[in-house]
Structure 1
Amino acid sequence: MISIRHSQERGHANFGWLDSHHSFSFGSYYDPAHMGFSALRVINDDRVAPEAGFATHGHSDMEIISYVLEGEIAHKDSEGNIATLPPGEFQLMSAGSGIRHSEFNPSRATPLHFLQIWIQPNVYGQQPGYQQKDFGRSPGLTLVVSPDGAEGSLVIKQDARLYQLLLEPNTRAQLTASKARKYYVHLVDGELDIEGTTLRPGDGAKLADISALVLAAKGEAVKALVFDLP
């Protein structure tokens, strides 16, 4: 089973300093048909103006992943973590029992473009945590997040895995799947074929009851995120 949600169908909010597209219900955007998928709760495609950002605010019991596409994020949180995320890096913040943080675009000229992803944890009230890593640009599927830190991945408090997918034109990758699991693909760049269906940037695909996931680039390079969910 595959279900596609096209980029233009997503929720949208524009506050001037922030232009955001929501794959699932978030903030003032509410759609009961799109409340999340398995443990995946939020994918926000955020563009932040230079010298603007999210003021200090709090989260609890949520696994929050940021993936920088353009520009940089200046991060600061109540656990004492102060960091900069350049393009291509992933950040995983485990909010646990409670954390406060800010995210800011420090550039005077370059917009910030990043994906903000929330995954619901399977344990609650834990110590907050912070992880950050660049996983390189190797073609194919690269494990970025897992529950056990396999292959040097960031450790998430959920039975979930996130892969970075990079494909050259007219190449493909395959993920061994389980019919007991659910899968979600978010396309960032290029055109991606999944089971004869073409995804374009901003599109998302929900997949269930499958035993293999074949991901094929068409005539241009592909960048995408692939989620393996309970």
Structure 2
Amino acid sequence: MIELRKADQRGRAEHGWLSSRHTFSFANYYDAQQTGFSDLLVINDDRVAPARGFGKHPHRDMEIFSYVLEGALEHKDSMGTGSVIVPGDVQLMSAGTGVAHSEFNHSAEQPVHFLQIWIAPNVKGAQPRYLQKNIPGEEKRGKLRLILSPDGAAESLELRQDARVYAGLFDGAESAKVEIGADRYAYVHVARGSVKVNGLELGEGDGARIRSERELTFTDGHDAEVLVFDLRNIEVSELWS
């Protein structure tokens, strides 16, 4: 079963320097029916004005990763990490016992467009850590490249949760398939362009909750960039029970 969530159904936040779309409840946007899916709790689609950004703020016990689509994102944190994240990079910060970070548009002239995604960890009170890796476009072109996993398989970043995240680029006749276990859920987010998932067309910003599907097939892409989440078959309410 594929449950579509259209881009225009997402929460909106307009702050002048920041234009954000919230797939799930976040900050001032709350929808009791949209509080996450399995361990996936946040997908924020953010566009930040030149030389602006999020000042230093804390997190704990959360797996937070950023995926830049356009521009450059500057990261600094209380672990002493300083980096600039550009398209092709995957950045993962495991907040663990607590970490503070800031994120700013690295450019004084061009906006930055990125996704920030939160996944609940399977362990609390872990040592904070920071991981970053560049994955060239050719490794995602016409295929689904594993970028996050619980065991760091296939040179992916190691995630503190039983979840796997894939990234893919699809255009024209390019296609790919990914198997989903019988006891698993999946979520698809189209970061840009459009693509068909098992024959259902998803456009930019669209997402889909997926249950009881053993295989996902991606076809008929039009300049599409997608993220696919392979998740535990639990409901969000079970995380807090």
State the TM-score bracket (shorter-chain normalisation): over 0.9
Q: Which residue of 2 aligns with 1:174?
A: 177
- Equivalent pairs, count: 229
The residue number in structure 2 matching 1:164 is 167
Cα distance, 1:135 vs structure 2: 1.1
Letter in 1 for 2:93: M
Q: 1:215 Cα deviation (Å)?
A: 1.2
Are residue 187 (structure 1) and residue 179 (structure 2) matched? no
SS, match of residue 8 in structure 1: helix
Give unmatched runs, 5+ long, in structure 2: 233-241
Q: Contact 1:21–1:46 (CA<8 Å) still a contact in 2?
A: yes
State how 1:46-65 maps to structure 2 within 5 Å. 46-65=46-65
Task: Please give the alpha-carbon distance, in whole angstroms, between the structure 1 residues aligned to 2:217 and 2:102.
Answer: 38
Aligned residue in 2 for 1:130: 130
Moved more, 109-118 or 166-175: 166-175
For 1:97, the aligned partner's letter is T
> Residue 151 of structure 1 aligns with which residue?
154
Counterparts of 1:83 and 1:123, CA distance in 2: 26
Distance (Å, rounded) in 2 between the aligned partners of 1:10 and 1:170: 30
- More off after superposition, 23-32 vs 160-169: 160-169
Partners of 1:102 and 1:214 lie apart in 2 by: 37
Which amino acid is the alignment partner of residue 21 of structure 1? R
Consecutive unaligned residues of structure 1, counting only runs of 5 or more, are none
Counterpart in the other structure of 1:198: 201
**In the alignment, is the contact (CA less than 8 A) between 1:90 and 1:134 conserved in 2?**
yes
Identity over the aligned pairs, expressed in percent? 50
Give CA deviations for 1:74-108 in whole Å, capped at 9, x if unaligned.
Answer: 11100010111112211000000000000011211
Alpha-carbon distance in 2 for matches of 1:20, 1:157? 26
Secondary structure of 1:191's counterpart equals: strand
Cα deviation 1:178-206 (Å, max 9, x = unaligned) = 12001000002222112221100000011
Superposition map of 1:61-72 within 5 A: 61-72=61-72
Distance 2:87 2:210 in 1: 28
Distance in 1 between the 2:148 and 2:109 partners? 31
Mapping of residues 16-55 of structure 1, within 5 Å: 16-55=16-55
Judge conservation of contact 1:179–1:208 (CA < 8 Å) in 2.
Answer: no
Post-superposition CA distance 1:137-184 (Å, at most 9, x none): 122110000000001100010000100111231221000111200100
Root-mean-square deviation (Å):
0.9
User: Are 1:142 and 2:140 an aligned pair?
Assistant: no
Determine the C-alpha separation between the residues in 2 that align with 1:84 and 1:118: 20
Looking at structure 1, the residues matched to 5 and 223 of structure 2 have their Cα atoms a distance apart, in angstroms, of 21
Secondary structure of the 1:168 match is: strand
Counterpart of 2:225?
A: 223
Name the aligned partner's letter for residue 84 of structure 1.
V
Deviation at 1:14, TM superposition (A): 0.5
Given that 2:144 and 2:167 are in contact with CA atoms closer than 8 Å, whether structure 1 keeps it comes out as yes
Q: TM-score normalised to the size of structure 1?
A: 0.97
